[in-house]
Amino acid sequence: MAVTKDSFGFMPSGQEIFEYTLTNASGMSVSALNYGCTIRTIKVPDRNGVIGDVVLGFDTLEGYFNSPHYIGAVVGRFANRIHHGEFFIADKKYELSINMPPHQLHGGINGFDKKVWEGKEVENDMGSGVTFQYVSQDGEEGFPGNLAVFVQYLLTKENILIINFIAYADAPTHVNLTQHSYFNLTGRNVSSINHDLIVNGDYFLPVDNTRMVTGEKTPVEDTVFDFREPKSIGSSFELSDPQITITFGLDHCWVLNKPLNELGLAATLYDYESGRHLEIHTSEPGLQVYSGFSLYGTGKNHVDFDAFGGVALETQHFPDTPNHPDFPSTLVVPGTPYQSTTIFKFSALKEQ
């Protein structure tokens, strides 16, 4: 197990950005930047032992500056949408920055994905890793209170990537963090809609024409959103459904079948071609699945990626939670830290 640190480029201000690479003896490696806590590569073996990079990313820092897709980043303070960029805490209204009119998305105009974090290498009995730290100032993007945020990536010898989030607030505020990697388990520039997906959820959250959740929880039974048994991502596009029309594919949050704040199965993703298999466990109550209809860009090795070139599986609290008292709360208060864990478990299946 090892951690290396290398220069990756410079911010316009001249500040140097570093890439931390975690490796284990099984052939797996993960690299992450202190710009946006961005996971740039995840390299894992296929069924024949051939190593492939299974996440989208860029070769240069400028690629991340110019991309609107949050590729590989940690997003916050609040992942997903907040209705009209506003909420109340104790009868006081807070107005947030608007970056996806008429709503705020993924923390606003300059969210956590665009911040430079402080990185520190970590090695312990579990594996090798890196911990990133950032202090979000009171009023940043409209959110109240100062927030000290820590994100840890830890790679184990069993090809498991553990992601730990912890944050401390000095005033009541809303926090909802997620890791926004786009997965393509083929390790090549092909569509990911042929991947088989399982989502451990009996309900999903429908959206309106602005992609904002309505507040309803709809059973997946007899809908295109029923992924309780494995089926290809693209199969959900084959039947006419107003929800699919609104989002040009999947861009919805599932209510996970697990106890609140306890680790439990969220989803599995499988690629028949390579045999690569990803199992996701989380302490979060929801999973946002975004099939990537708007993706575009020139990725690693100067190879272009297109719509549906990767799928984002974002473990998180529900969208617009501050405005829905019946959703599990995202309110963080002084003395009680925000804590969340997500686990990416990689393997290669001989047959499925």
Residue 180 contacts residue 73 (beta carbons within 8 Å):
yes
From the candidates 83, 180, 195, 281, which is the catalytic residue? 180
CA dist., res. 19 & res. 11, Å (int): 14
- Tokens matching residue 321: 């939670």
Say which residue the tokens 């024409």 belong to.
209
Q: Which residues of 20-48 are buried (b: 16+ CB within 10 A; e: fewer)?
A: bbbbbeeebbbbbbbbbbbbbbbbbbbbe
Residue 280 contacts residue 268 (beta carbons within 8 Å):
yes
CA dist., res. 164 & res. 300, Å (int): 27
CA dist., res. 234 & res. 227, Å (int): 12
Sort 155 into a burial class: Cβ within 10 Å, 0-12 / 13-18 / 19+.
buried
314 flagged as catalytic: yes
- Tokens matching residue 160: 């498991």
180 flagged as catalytic: yes
- 312 by DSSP, 3-state: which? strand
Reference 310, options 229, 226, 189; nearest CA is 189
From the candidates 252, 284, 314, 317, which is the catalytic residue? 314
Active site residues: 180, 314
